[in-house]
Structure 1
Amino acid sequence: MSENLNGLQIQLLLYFLEAEPKKRTVTDAARYLNKPKSSLTHILDSLDGLALMERVEGRKSVLTAAGKRTAQELLHQRKILEQYMQYQDIPPAQIKENALRALSAGFSDEFMARLAEQEGRMRLKEIFAGHRDFHGGDICNYLKDGSYYFPFIIYREQIKNHNNLSMANRGFENPCELIVKDHEGLIYLAVKTVSAESMSSGKKMEGRVNKMQYLYDGEFRDGGIDGRYVYFPVTALSFIAMGKGRDTLLHGSVCLKMQCSVGDMHMPESTAIFTMFIH
């Protein structure tokens, strides 16, 4: 419904949602929005026709149940848009008008979800900019329940053949998934099958990571396994913030031990550094 509304219809719905009950009148709305009362009366009629508002006794108008849901959705989207624009350094005087224009464009739910995710990343970067030592649990304190996706790299502990990328980097799908619930989070890695030469026979073999441990408080602890996923708590990640402003990069790392399904004789247990980026 909201994608079919024009700017003035949206403004009127939001006004009737947010204004004090005694000021939810066309007269007060016209004064607040600095619009002719006749224009708002016409808009009110159109919203009445869309079953978003209705007239009650005393010639007053109120939001219908559908109108309230639509207005609340628009309010939520407006907040996301305004916060996103703040992080893009849009001048404050232009943010409100630009957000209204964006709402009138009628973005899809999928687009708004992606925008909300990006706004969340920017908010994290602003909160933790300049911090040199924090962990993943601190980040979860600022995230709503849901799934978040971040790129990662798995490095060797030591450079080998002028290359510091671990073979384990090929063993998982990128990005990883951070699932947050009640300000606690788990990092999920989707396991892939990889091909490599056996350390004992030299023959090409295929295997998958089937056990993972993560370093926490100086000791390795077993990660979880859920079907094709392995997971560990985000609190295991030690973060630093690099750069500044919009170019800030949050860099979180943890040491992992991994075992392959073909056995240690062919692919010995390896230790590597998992590094996740929030950019």
Structure 2
Amino acid sequence: MDPRLNELKIKILLCFYRLDKAESTVTSISERLGIPKYETSRAVGSMEKDGLVDRTNIRSPELTGEGERLAARYSRRYDLAKHHLMYEGVEERFAKDDAFYMALSCSDETFEVIKCMEKKFLLREHFARIKNFTGEEFCEAINDGRYQLQILKLVRKLNEEYGMTVIMVLHDINQSLYY
């Protein structure tokens, strides 16, 4: 976690990032987070000193370029963690809170693994919904070579478990023999 940030500051960053400009006031952020206005105001002042918020317009502070970059990073991490938890069966109300703490504390390496898992889950869901699909759909879904073998295993599983007929052209002789 960035040393300039704590839990409250990250929540405020996310509010600035996700809310429209009209809602990005200290008062509305305080109400949304359920904390006293003075606490939010103090944190926003500290964030201004850290170069994350511009309070030129005192009534409507906004993120600086650096604040926007950090907010986008934590927003992506939060969304990824929340979707992952919900896919694993965690109720949304619990996934929201837990995802926030995951976004704060998990390493970039952990999020890379979660991101790879998320792509596999999405592909699995996509292919499980269709009875027949063309090579074009498959090629679009397999646009990253890192997932090629995993997707081929998934296609095999779709055939074996769901009885789907799979016809594909593979240009690698070893894969053609195995799959």
TM-score range, shorter chain: 0.7 to 0.9
Checking the alignment, whether the CA contact within 8 Å between 2:21 and 2:60 is kept in structure 1 is: no
Structure 1 residue 58: Cα displacement: 3.6
Inter-partner Cα distance in structure 1 for 2:36 and 2:145: 45
Amino acid at match of 2:23: K
Inter-partner Cα distance in structure 1 for 2:3 and 2:144: 25
Inter-partner Cα distance in structure 1 for 2:97 and 2:175: 53
Structure 1 residue 113: Cα displacement: 2.2
- The change in CA–CA distance for 1:55 and 1:257 in structure 2 (over 3 A counts) is closer
- The change in CA–CA distance for 1:75 and 1:119 in structure 2 (over 3 A counts) is same
Structure 1 residue 73: Cα displacement: 1.5
Residue 273 of structure 1 aligns with which residue?
Answer: 177
1:233-274 per-position Cα deviation (integer Å, ceiling 9, x unaligned)? x9xxx7662559xxxxxx98656685xxxxxxxxxxx99523
SS in 1 for 2:146: strand
Structure 1: unaligned runs, 5 residues or longer: 153-177, 179-233, 245-250, 259-269
SS in 2 for 1:129: helix
Inter-partner Cα distance in structure 2 for 1:27 and 1:133: 53
Structure 2: unaligned runs, 5 residues or longer: none
Alignment of 1:183-202 (within 5 A): none
Inter-partner Cα distance in structure 1 for 2:161 and 2:4: 42
> Kindly, what percent of the aligned residue pairs are identical?
21
Amino acid at match of 1:38: Y
Inter-partner Cα distance in structure 1 for 2:3 and 2:147: 27
Inter-partner Cα distance in structure 2 for 1:124 and 1:87: 13
Amino acid at match of 2:87: Y
Larger radius of gyration: 1
Which structure: greater helix fraction?
2
Residue 76 of structure 1 aligns with which residue?
Answer: 76
Structure 1 residue 141: Cα displacement: 3.8
Inter-partner Cα distance in structure 1 for 2:115 and 2:175: 36
Aligned alpha-carbon RMSD (Å): 3.4
Amino acid at match of 2:113: R
Residue 66 of structure 1 aligns with which residue?
Answer: 66
Residue 119 of structure 2 aligns with which residue?
Answer: 120
SS in 2 for 1:134: coil
1:58-96 per-position Cα deviation (integer Å, ceiling 9, x unaligned)? 454211111011111211222211111121111111111
In the alignment, does 2:3 pair up with 1:99? Answer: no
Amino acid at match of 1:17: Y
- The change in CA–CA distance for 1:15 and 1:274 in structure 2 (over 3 A counts) is same
Structure 1 residue 115: Cα displacement: 1.4
State TM-score, norm by structure 2. 0.77
- The change in CA–CA distance for 1:243 and 1:51 in structure 2 (over 3 A counts) is farther
In the alignment, does 2:56 pair up with 1:56? Answer: yes
Alignment of 1:201-212 (within 5 A): none
Inter-partner Cα distance in structure 2 for 1:107 and 1:30: 29
- The change in CA–CA distance for 1:118 and 1:257 in structure 2 (over 3 A counts) is closer
Amino acid at match of 1:123: L
Inter-partner Cα distance in structure 2 for 1:135 and 1:54: 51
In the alignment, does 2:137 pair up with 1:138? Answer: yes
Amino acid at match of 2:121: M
Inter-partner Cα distance in structure 1 for 2:49 and 2:149: 48
